Structure 1
Amino acid sequence: MMIISTVKLPEECKRLIPVKDEGITEDDIRNAEIIMLWPSQAREILPKAEKVKIIQTFSAGVDDFPFELLKKDQLLYSNAGAYSISVAEHAFALILALAKGVGVKKRVETYPLNNSTILILGAGGIGSEVAKIAKLGFNMYVIGVSRSFKGTYYDEKYSLKDLEKVIGRADVIVDTLPLNKETRGILNYSVLSKVKEKCIIVNVGRAETVVEDDIYRILKEKPGVRFGTDVFWRVNGKENFSTSKLWELENFTGTPHIAGATANERVLKNALIQACKNVYRILNEGEGENKVKIEDYI
């Protein structure tokens, strides 16, 4: 079976699967049955891939994948969980910065984390790591709101439809949701208006799960609410990190989509190896992890 990768892979991958990752030709693309790539590369590569049956992404999220190019007999697998620890650490970096006034040029009220209540939106790989840090590091009461759950650190579990009922109990809210039809705009004004007057909200999932105008309005109406995000809304295909109007507000902070730490050699290597291990499972067990439900996106 012909397997190609658009990225140079660690040697550990070569010992797992027979993959070509250098000197890829047009014939290689045409004949490949499994292709490993970043979603941003799919639009150029997939139209040439006449025999491909399986696409494995290196990214955890696939919201920017060109689903319209997928054929009915093709399967798409994400790399969900590959960056979970790094993103969870970053979530707490934002939480602590907001809670303790880090980087603020004046004295502000600090918010305690120990024994407070945290609500985690999305209980997959990232959410489960956030829950672990919250419980073991800060003895927080952990509420999970998700379609499915990983990990054992949740004190209460709810479905997404229950979000409005429980969001008002949280001192800290962490959004780790992927972006799909169900989650787009889930944190809108109707939901956000129910948060506590003093609440920390952090987004390390996807920007568009939060309505930008609505979070801006909440931060203006409730100055005790503090919001931090690592993901920004797309304008003409690019995240508006430097131009978002949220920067006008003192109760906001952000980072330019660096939580995944893909610029870190060790983190990226581990992520690439995880993707290769999933291809190994597909080859040897007939099924891999993180198969994408196309109907969630189109």
Structure 2
Amino acid sequence: MEPVENAATVRYADAAGLPDALRGADILFVWDFLSTAVPDAWPSADRLRWLHIASAGVDPVMFPELRDSDVVLTNSRGVFDNPIAEYVLGLVIAFAKDFAGSLDLQRAGTWRHRETERVGGKRALIVGTGPIGRSIARMLTAAGLKVAGVGRRAREGDPDFGAVHASDDLAEHIGWADYVVAVAPLTEKTKGLFDRRVFAAMKPTARFINVGRGELVVTDDLIDALRADEVAGAALDVFETEPLPAESPLWTMDNVLLSPHMSGDVVGWKDTLAELFVANFEKWLAGERLDNVVDKKLGYVPMGAEPR
């Protein structure tokens, strides 16, 4: 942050101090991207012109007052694309090769030969066609999987997905996939997208992977589908409630892999987030167009959007 501190008055604040710090500020950098403090402090934003959030998802700050204001919203698109894609590929391989089962047998001191699954030739449906979804598609394709996408609109001939199906038709196409990867942004349209009807339409041998937002999934419906063998397994990095409550059945289910919202967090990621903001701040000072401007009606940066 040194370049910013050299050019501007910088105030650092926690949630309690945010209202006072926000008065008179032109720019707000939301470093704690899970914080819910901004809506409550919004009445103090008396001259704010730009809000930047240190995440790809912007749902924590997409409250009505910001959406209806003239404040420019930018996100940290690009920082997490390849790390999350690597994480998803790792999960696919872990499922196919039963690494969890091998570790359990190792801990039990049991020698048990098994056969595992091929990765090449399997099918992956990636729900979310933004930069992270595209990086996942390219990585899974390189590993030999066949991929398709799900986005706002159906289309053919996409360079990364081939076919893209409309999210309204998800239940009609989800049965095609051996792996279903949720990476869509959280919007009013995608909240609860994966519900009982969608899980019932999956192959009973398919695995579900969520590296998007926990609220994309109706958790109780997923648990029921796993218990009923409608879905063979799940790998979850995000949850409706974080941390995941101790009483959640997901903790003890044999066919579930859990991680604490870390799929994009690689060594050095915090420095990269700060550097991205600094680069945009320098554009702000120079009167240049900003990168990663979010369409506040859509809730994400549109593909092919020009800097603003």
- With the length of structure 2 as denominator, give the TM-score of the two structures: 0.79
Partner residue, 1:5 = none
Tell me the amino acid that sits aligned with residue 147 of structure 2. V
For structure 2, list consecutive stretches of 5 or more residues without a partner in the other structure: 106-111, 301-308
Q: CA deviation at 1:202?
A: 0.5
Q: How many residues align?
A: 279
Kindly indicate whether residue 50 of structure 2 is the aligned counterpart of residue 54 of structure 1: yes
Q: What percent identity do the matched residue pairs reach?
A: 28
Question: Aligned ranges for residues 272-291 of structure 1 at < 5 Å?
Answer: 272-281=274-283, 284-291=287-294
Q: CA deviation at 1:260?
A: 2.3
Q: Is the 8 A contact 2:62 2:299 kept in 1?
A: no
For structure 1, list consecutive stretches of 5 or more residues without a partner in the other structure: 1-8
Note closer, same or farther for the CA distance 1:227–1:21 as it changes in structure 2 (3 Å cut): same
Partner residue, 2:264 = 260
Q: CA deviation at 1:18?
A: 3.5
Give 3-state SS (helix, strand or coil) of 1:35's partner.
strand
Q: Is the 8 A contact 2:4 2:10 kept in 1?
A: no
Which of 187, 196, 199 in structure 2 is aligned with 1:192? 199
Partner residue, 2:109 = none
Note closer, same or farther for the CA distance 1:207–1:28 as it changes in structure 2 (3 Å cut): closer
Kindly indicate whether residue 251 of structure 2 is the aligned counterpart of residue 251 of structure 1: no
Note closer, same or farther for the CA distance 1:224–1:23 as it changes in structure 2 (3 Å cut): closer
Tell me the amino acid that sits aligned with residue 136 of structure 2. V
Note closer, same or farther for the CA distance 1:187–1:44 as it changes in structure 2 (3 Å cut): closer
Deviations 1:32-91 (A, max 9, x none): 212212342524654333211111111211222261453622222222332122222222
Give 3-state SS (helix, strand or coil) of 1:174's partner.
strand
Tell me the amino acid that sits aligned with residue 145 of structure 1. V
Kindly indicate whether residue 165 of structure 2 is the aligned counterpart of residue 158 of structure 1: yes
Measured in 1, the distance between the counterparts of 2:12 and 2:223 equals 48
Give 3-state SS (helix, strand or coil) of 2:58's partner.
coil
Q: Is the 8 A contact 1:182 1:296 kept in 2?
A: no
Which of 96, 99, 103 in structure 2 is aligned with 1:99? 96
Partner residue, 1:83 = 80
Partner residue, 2:220 = 213
Q: Is the 8 A contact 1:56 1:279 kept in 2?
A: no
Which of 136, 143, 148 in structure 2 is aligned with 1:143? 148
Q: CA deviation at 1:219?
A: 0.9
**C-alpha RMSD of matched pairs (Å):** 3.0
Q: CA deviation at 1:192?
A: 1.1
Which of 13, 29, 35 in structure 1 is aligned with 2:28? 35
Note closer, same or farther for the CA distance 1:206–1:54 as it changes in structure 2 (3 Å cut): same
Note closer, same or farther for the CA distance 1:142–1:217 as it changes in structure 2 (3 Å cut): same
Tell me the amino acid that sits aligned with residue 30 of structure 1. R
Note closer, same or farther for the CA distance 1:91–1:23 as it changes in structure 2 (3 Å cut): closer
Q: Is the 8 A contact 2:200 2:230 kept in 1?
A: no
Tell me the amino acid that sits aligned with residue 164 of structure 2. K
Measured in 1, the distance between the counterparts of 2:87 and 2:159 equals 21
Measured in 1, the distance between the counterparts of 2:9 and 2:246 equals 39
Deviations 1:154-182 (A, max 9, x none): 12212212212211010111110121101
Measured in 2, the distance between the counterparts of 1:241 and 1:268 equals 26
Give 3-state SS (helix, strand or coil) of 1:103's partner.
helix
- With the length of structure 1 as denominator, give the TM-score of the two structures: 0.81
Q: CA deviation at 1:135?
A: 1.0
